[in-house]
């Protein structure tokens, strides 16, 4: 194909903008314009996207290493488009709420744009090799962002996150190479579409070990229990825009990858190791959930909560049915937006007060009522209250997961009775997870905004200007898609996932 | 058609002419010699592209082989030598300071001319197909390196490095000759193809001969392990890399290693056709690769001196390359090794090229001397960032693709144990390479930081290398097409 995919433009905009920043154009303005251009562009893609067509659209392919079947193949279906929208939205919000640092402002904004370009590239790639490469593009900007402009024990956090992510992505790379090698010789390729069709024909070799590598690699990247310890520390130390982009967008890469690659290509292996994954994801939901409750600092609490919420999405993936995967896809979108809004708000809070220690706050709703309102909405969205897009997502995951696996029947005195299988037990635990997130979110909300206001906080300025618009936009998108989830589900119906 | 053997003689002749010019025109600016050498080597490099492998002259005795692999590594040696000369021009003030002579520039001439002789040796090594030829070429390379390593004769570290290199190098030469003797004694041949022919004639090799053959090959492997800096023959590396003049260190780590791997691939050829010993040779290579990976990467982590760090990283990269050699059964392995070496050339030379002006300005080559370089000279820091990321193996750089091909070959050969070690060591690599990035971008600028001066030629070379690292990393097809 000779035509150039419009998606390439999407990836190039942030990269070209960072080049402009290095040459000397105003860092903040350039970054903001570039991210807005991308957002408009993604919305335009939504307009021309043909729903009901299950194949990839806007496809273009440039061979890079033909002998290995590697090509820069870009394209989008419904799920990719949703993720692209998420990336574009969060990028705009992250750049909008960013405070221009005194030193190296150019590097700061260029790093944010690189993370965005990495996310966009990964979600727009059909070729697995480039899917991987684009994700890695974000690794070093994250390292720099945390290490230079972070707070607290930023150096340790940056090292830990970088080493974990490097290790995770290398395991993932081995998994992808494995996926390549189990294909029959002569027709090996990294093109996802061809691999899926080969899986449909049943010509792939034994993929059990490939799935385990993918699960481990993606698992480390998504902070699957017990490989999650890098995440809260990194998010607590990262500057707010970096935490927004990483927790909101990049971390979704791993789950997106599992849904994209493992569920259509290696469903037997997913089923075979479902119990293992269920145990780990219940660890995410309950163990990390309880750890989240005990946090005394808002940034750490949000970091742990972002780890915990991955458990729902893993549950949706593990159950492998239309309901659960649709729910998981919705949750990818929902969690990305809600965690981005929360990190943005906690960043604003730290900017005003210089602390995020929950014990020092109280009564902030008095000086900044609108801020309190926004925080409340964002918390509700994170818990998954009806009206926000997280609600249909969680609901579909629970329904789907409860129907997952083989129904387990027992018999008492010859009468068949119903028993809970492992999926159903995990679903019960996941519902508990909702209660846990309600506990910590509402408790944090009460500590910060309710009660008597101390003299220290009386003169706090209200949130205003560009950050206010950005955060309101995130919340509005969550509300609109929450009341009309069909806007997204229609798109998901036109993906290659169900073929 | 142009036969290929005159190319080496041309390089040798160039070296002799330059030596004479150095002796007969004592008052000339010695840097001119380097520039002349650069131009001529560039000319030879162009000339190599007009050599047609199919029509080449090969000696009837089979000691000289100008196949595509050989020609590719002749080009590789020429490029490495040219880059070394660029580094040497950059490094000249240090040499002048370290060798106080009666007039300025005394002793500088040979510093620029010796790499040309090394280059001739490397080019012969690339084509050597006979143990005698291998030995002679190897000695030409090694002996010219002995002088270069100890070149800063008023600097104890350089002398110590030279002594260490000389003694251990002589020892490894002894191993090589002894190993060749055993192999000759068993096969009656020194030519590699003749050895393969000798084994092919025998239906089954008796047990005692197998052991003797493995013993001989083992001795050769020891010597080559010394050249490519594979553990457990790596003891010389950190001290020699640290003490030698920086351009020599770069040349040593790239040229010597590449030539060592070419010879290794050529020497192993005939032995891997013998099924009785093939599996045992592979096992030895696996063990070597595993130890080298673990040792190089773990020992690199606590280093605070950049030259030492790059020394250990050179050991680590030898480990990845050996992993490729241990996977020779895979059709992907040969190309993976060559591609890895190309990437290694680009990123190592870039790192050393940036190190020279920074060390000159800061007065030392510790990682701490890079503190705040991101603010002092953003361009240099960006180039160093690229070199480090590529060494660590980050996507969109040539270092990633090199590792990718090697791991692919290893997975195809089901070297799962080595692959597992490789994953851990790659993560270690991220740690120690990013230490340099941290110094450049996280640390504050030291108060007494002098401005970093960098010549236009150096700037051009650095920009060229950095651009190649990215271009080949994103679009490797042109390079893959010219690979043998």
Residue A73 has phi, psi (to 5 degrees) of -105, 115
- Residue A238 inside a domain? The answer is no
Q: Say whether pLDDT at B55 is over 50.
A: no
**What is the distance between the alpha carbons of residues B106 and B87, in angstroms, rounded to a whole number?**
18
Would the CA dihedral through B344, A136, B466, A67 be positive or negative? positive
Any domain includes A73 = no
Confidence of residue A5 (pLDDT cuts 50, 70, 90): confident
Burial B227-249 (b: 16+ CB within 10 A, else e): bbbbbebbebbbbbbbbbbbbbb
Structure confidence at residue B241 as a pLDDT band (50, 70, 90): very high
Please check whether residues B293 and B364 belong to one and the same domain. yes
Look at residue A471 and tell me if it is in a domain: yes
Residues B91 and B230 in one domain: yes
Q: Select the residue of A136, A148, A171 nearest B394 (Cβ to Cβ).
A: A136
Residue B282 inside a domain? The answer is no
Residues B219 and B307 in one domain: no
For chain B, what is the domain count? 2
A365 assigned to some structural domain: yes
Q: Are residues B318 and B422 in the same domain?
A: yes
Is B104 within the bounds of a domain? yes
pLDDT at A1: 46
pLDDT at A225 over 70: yes
Average pLDDT of span A395-411: 84
Give pLDDT, residue A479. 92
pTM: predicted TM-score of the whole model, two decimal places: 0.88
Confidence of residue B320 (pLDDT cuts 50, 70, 90): very high
Question: Cα separation of A448 and A360, whole Å?
Answer: 8
Q: Is residue B156 part of a domain?
A: yes
Query: How far is B322 from B415, CA to CA, in rounded Å?
Result: 12
Question: Is residue B180 domain-shared with residue B302, that is, in the same domain?
Answer: no
Sign of CA dihedral A474, A475, A480, A483: positive
Whether residue B413 is found in the same domain as residue B481: yes
Range of the domain at B446: 287-484
Facing residue for A65 by CB, picked from B427, B434, B476: B476
Whether B279 is in a domain gets the answer no
Query: Is A120 domain-assigned?
Result: no
Task: Say yes or no to pLDDT of B315 above 90.
Answer: yes
Could you tell me if B201 and B331 lie in one domain? no
Domain that holds residue A368: 305-437+447-499
C-beta separation of B76 from B345 below 8 A = yes
3-state helix, strand, coil in chain B (%, to 5): 75, 0, 20
What integer pLDDT is reported at residue A28 of this predicted model?
85
pLDDT at B54: 46
Query: What would the DSSP string read from start to end of A31-69?
Result: HHHHHHHHHHHHHHHHHH--TT--S-EEEEEEEEEGGGT
Using a CB-CB cut-off of 8 Å, the residues of chain B touching A173 are: 404, 407
pLDDT of residue B475: 84
Backbone angles phi, psi at B453, to 5 degrees: -105, 140
The residue from B248, B273, B298 where one domain ends is B273
In terms of domains, do B302 and B372 share one? yes
Question: What pLDDT digit, counting tens, does each position of B409-434 carry?
Answer: 998 888 888 999 998 899 889 889 98
The domain tally of chain A equals 1
Lowest-confidence segment of A329-333, A395-399, B90-94 by average pLDDT:
B90-94
Q: Contact at 8 Å (CB) between B150 and B162? A: yes
Q: Rounded mean pLDDT of chain A?
A: 87
Return the DSSP state at B372: T
A196 touches B: beta carbon within 8 Å: no
Residue A3 belongs to a domain: no
> Could you report the per-residue pLDDT of B182-193, keeping only the tens digit for each?
989 888 888 888
Contacts of B427 in chain A (CB under 8 A): 163, 166-167, 170
Residue B278 falls inside a structural domain = no
Question: Residue A498's pLDDT band (boundaries 50, 70, 90)?
Answer: low
Closest approach of A410 to chain B, Cα-based (Å): 43
pLDDT for residue B60: 52
In a domain, A58, yes or no: no
Q: Give the end of a domain, one of B273, B298, B321.
A: B273
Residue A180, pLDDT above cutoff 50: yes
Tell me if A187 is assigned to some domain.
Answer: no
pLDDT at site A90: 93
Distance of residue B443 Cα from the nearest chain A Cα, in angstroms: 8
Residues 61-80 of A with CB under 8 A from B: 63-68
Mean confidence (pLDDT) of chain B: 86
B262 with B300, same domain: the answer is no
**B208 within some domain:** yes
pLDDT at B58: 53
Task: Please tell me whether residues B167 and B90 are part of one structural domain.
Answer: yes
Query: Residue A336 contacts by C-beta under 8 Å, 6 or more apart in sequence?
Result: A86, A90, A248, A249, A252
Burial of A354 (0-12, 13-18, 19+ CB in 10 A): exposed
Question: How much is the pLDDT for B1?
Answer: 38
Contacts of B423 in chain A (CB under 8 A): 167, 170-171, 174
- Is the bond preceding residue B232 a cis peptide, omega within 30 degrees? yes
Q: How far is A30 from chain B (nearest CA, A)?
A: 20
Segment B193-238, tens digit of pLDDT? 888 887 777 777 777 888 888 899 999 999 999 988 888 888 889 9
Q: What angle (nearest 5°) sits at the alpha carbon of residue B335, between those of residues B329 and B337? A: 85
Q: Provide the pLDDT confidence category of residue B4 given band limits of 50, 70 and 90.
A: low
Judged by CB atoms closer than 8 Å, whether chains meet at B374 and A104 is answered as: yes
Out of A333-337, A485-489, B388-392, pick the least confident.
Answer: A485-489
Higher pLDDT, B274 or B432: B432
Query: B8 in a domain, yes or no?
Result: yes
Query: Both B312 and B234 in a single domain?
Result: no
A112 vs A365: which has the higher pLDDT:
A112
Given a cut of 60, is residue A69 above it in pLDDT?
Answer: yes
Q: Give the whole-number percent of chain B exceeding pLDDT 70.
A: 95
Mean pLDDT, to the nearest integer, of A397-414? 83
- Bridge partner residues of A62 (DSSP): A72
> Which chain A residue has its CA at the smallest distance from B437's CA?
A144
Q: CA quadruple B41, B45, B48, B50: dihedral positive or negative?
A: negative
CB contact under 8 A, A63 and B419: no
Nearest CA in chain B to A160: B431
Residues B235 and B298 in one domain: no
Does A137 contact B at CB distance below 8 Å?
A: yes
What pLDDT band is residue A118 in, cutting at 50, 70 and 90? very high
pLDDT of residue B297: 92
The confidence score (pLDDT) of residue A499 equals 43
Residues on chain A touching B441 (C-beta within 8 angstroms): 104, 107, 144, 147-148
Residue to test with chain B: of A103, A177, A210, A253, most B Cβ within 10 A: A177
Question: How does residue A214 score in pLDDT terms, banded at 50, 70 and 90?
Answer: very high
């Amino acid at each position: 194909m000779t035509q150039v995919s419009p998606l390439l433009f999407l990836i190039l905009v942030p990269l070209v903008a960072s080049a402009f920043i290095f040459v000397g154009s105003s860092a903040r303005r350039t970054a903001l314009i570039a991210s807005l251009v991308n957002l408009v562009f993604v919305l335009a893609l939504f307009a021309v996207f043909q729903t009901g067509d299950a194949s990839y659209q806007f496809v273009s392919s440039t061979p890079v290493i033909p002998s290995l079947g590697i090509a820069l193949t870009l394209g989008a279906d419904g799920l990719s488009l949703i993720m692209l929208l998420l990336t574009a939205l969060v990028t705009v919000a992250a750049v909008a709420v960013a405070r221009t640092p005194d030193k190296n402002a150019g590097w700061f904004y260029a790093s944010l744009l690189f993370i965005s370009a990495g996310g966009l590239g990964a979600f727009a790639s059909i070729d697995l090799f480039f899917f991987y490469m684009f994700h890695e593009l974000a690794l070093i900007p994250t390292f720099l962002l945390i290490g230079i402009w972070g707070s607290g024990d930023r150096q340790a956090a940056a090292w830990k996150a970088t080493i974990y992510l490097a290790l995770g992505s290398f395991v993932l790379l081995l998994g992808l190479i494995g996926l390549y090698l189990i294909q029959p010789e002569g027709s090996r390729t990294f093109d996802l579409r061809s691999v899926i069709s080969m899986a449909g024909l049943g010509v792939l070799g034994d993929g059990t070990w490939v799935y385990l590598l993918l699960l481990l690699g993606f698992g480390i990247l998504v902070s699957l229990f017990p490989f999650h310890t890098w995440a809260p520390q990194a998010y607590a130390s990262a500057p707010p825009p970096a935490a927004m982009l990483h927790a909101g967008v990049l971390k979704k890469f791993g789950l997106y990858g599992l849904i994209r690659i493992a569920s259509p290509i290696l469903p037997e292996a997913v089923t075979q190791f479902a119990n293992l994954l269920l145990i780990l994801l219940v660890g995410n939901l309950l163990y990390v959930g309880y750890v989240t409750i005990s946090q005394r600092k808002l940034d750490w609490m949000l970091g742990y909560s972002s780890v915990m919420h991955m458990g729902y999405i893993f549950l949706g993936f593990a159950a492998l049915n239309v309901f659960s995967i649709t729910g998981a896809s919705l949750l990818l979108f929902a969690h990305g937006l809600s965690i981005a809004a929360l990190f943005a708000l906690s960043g604003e809070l730290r900017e005003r007060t210089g602390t995020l220690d929950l014990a020092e706050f109280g009564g902030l709703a008095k000086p900044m009522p609108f801020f309190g309102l926004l925080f409340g909405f964002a918390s509700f969205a994170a818990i998954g209250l009806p009206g926000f897009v997280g609600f249909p997502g969680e609901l579909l995951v629970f329904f789907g997961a409860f129907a997952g696996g083989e129904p387990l029947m027992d018999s008492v005195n010859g009468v068949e009775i119903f028993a809970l299988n492992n999926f159903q037990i995990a679903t019960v635990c996941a519902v508990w997870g909702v209660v846990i997130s309600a506990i910590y979110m509402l408790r944090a909300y009460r500590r910060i905004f309710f009660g008597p206001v101390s003299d220290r906080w009386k003169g706090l300025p209200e949130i205003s200007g560009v950050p206010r618009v950005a955060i309101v936009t995130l919340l509005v998108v969550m509300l609109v898609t929450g009341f009309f989830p069909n806007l997204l589900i229609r798109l998901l119906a036109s993906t290659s996932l169900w073929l | 058609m142009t036969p290929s053997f005159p190319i080496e003689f041309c390089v040798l002749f160039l070296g002799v002419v330059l030596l004479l010019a150095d002796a007969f025109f004592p008052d000339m600016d010695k840097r001119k010699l380097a520039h002349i050498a650069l131009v001529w080597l560039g000319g030879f490099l162009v000339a190599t592209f007009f050599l047609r492998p199919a029509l080449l002259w090969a000696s009837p005795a089979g000691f000289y082989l100008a196949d595509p692999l050989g020609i590719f590594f002749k080009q590789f040696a020429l490029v490495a030598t040219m880059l070394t000369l660029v580094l040497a021009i950059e490094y000249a003030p240090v040499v002048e300071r370290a060798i106080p002579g009666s007039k300025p520039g005394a002793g500088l001439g040979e510093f620029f001319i010796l790499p040309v002789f090394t280059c001739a040796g490397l080019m012969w090594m690339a084509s050597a197909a006979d143990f005698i030829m291998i030995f002679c070429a190897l000695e030409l390379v090694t002996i010219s390196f002995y002088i270069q390593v100890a070149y800063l004769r008023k600097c104890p570290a350089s002398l110590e490095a030279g002594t260490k290199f000389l003694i251990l190098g002589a020892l490894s030469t002894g191993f090589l000759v002894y190993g060749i003797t055993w192999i000759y004694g068993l096969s009656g041949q020194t030519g590699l193809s003749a050895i393969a022919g000798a084994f092919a004639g025998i239906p089954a090799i008796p047990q005692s001969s197998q052991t003797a053959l493995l013993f001989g090959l083992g001795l050769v492997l020891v010597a080559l392990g010394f050249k490519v800096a594979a553990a457990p023959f790596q003891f010389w590396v950190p001290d020699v890399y640290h003490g030698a003049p920086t351009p020599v260190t770069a040349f040593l780590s790239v040229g010597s290693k590449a030539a060592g791997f070419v010879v290794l691939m050529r020497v192993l050829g005939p032995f891997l056709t013998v099924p009785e010993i093939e599996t045992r040779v592979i096992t030895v290579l696996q063990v070597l690769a595993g130890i080298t990976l673990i040792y190089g990467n773990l020992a690199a982590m606590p280093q605070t001196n950049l030259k030492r760090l790059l020394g250990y990283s050179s050991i680590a990269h030898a480990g990845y390359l050996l992993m490729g050699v241990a996977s020779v059964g895979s059709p992907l392995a040969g190309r993976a090794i060559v591609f890895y070496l190309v990437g290694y050339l680009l990123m190592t030379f870039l790192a050393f090229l940036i190190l020279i002006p920074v060390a000159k300005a800061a007065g030392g080559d510790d990682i701490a001397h890079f503190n705040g370089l991101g603010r002092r000279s953003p361009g240099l820091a960006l180039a160093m960032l690229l070199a480090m990321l590529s060494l660590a193996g980050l996507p969109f750089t040539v270092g990633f693709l090199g590792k990718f091909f090697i791991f692919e070959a290893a997975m195809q050969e089901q070297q799962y144990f080595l692959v597992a070690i490789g994953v851990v060591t790659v993560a270690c690599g991220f740690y120690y390479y990013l230490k340099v990035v941290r110094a450049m971008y996280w640390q504050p600028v030291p108060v007494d930081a002098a401005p970093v001066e960098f010549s236009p030629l150096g700037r051009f070379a650095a920009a060229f290398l950095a651009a190649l690292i990215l271009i080949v990393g994103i679009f490797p097809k042109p390079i893959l097409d010219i690979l043998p």
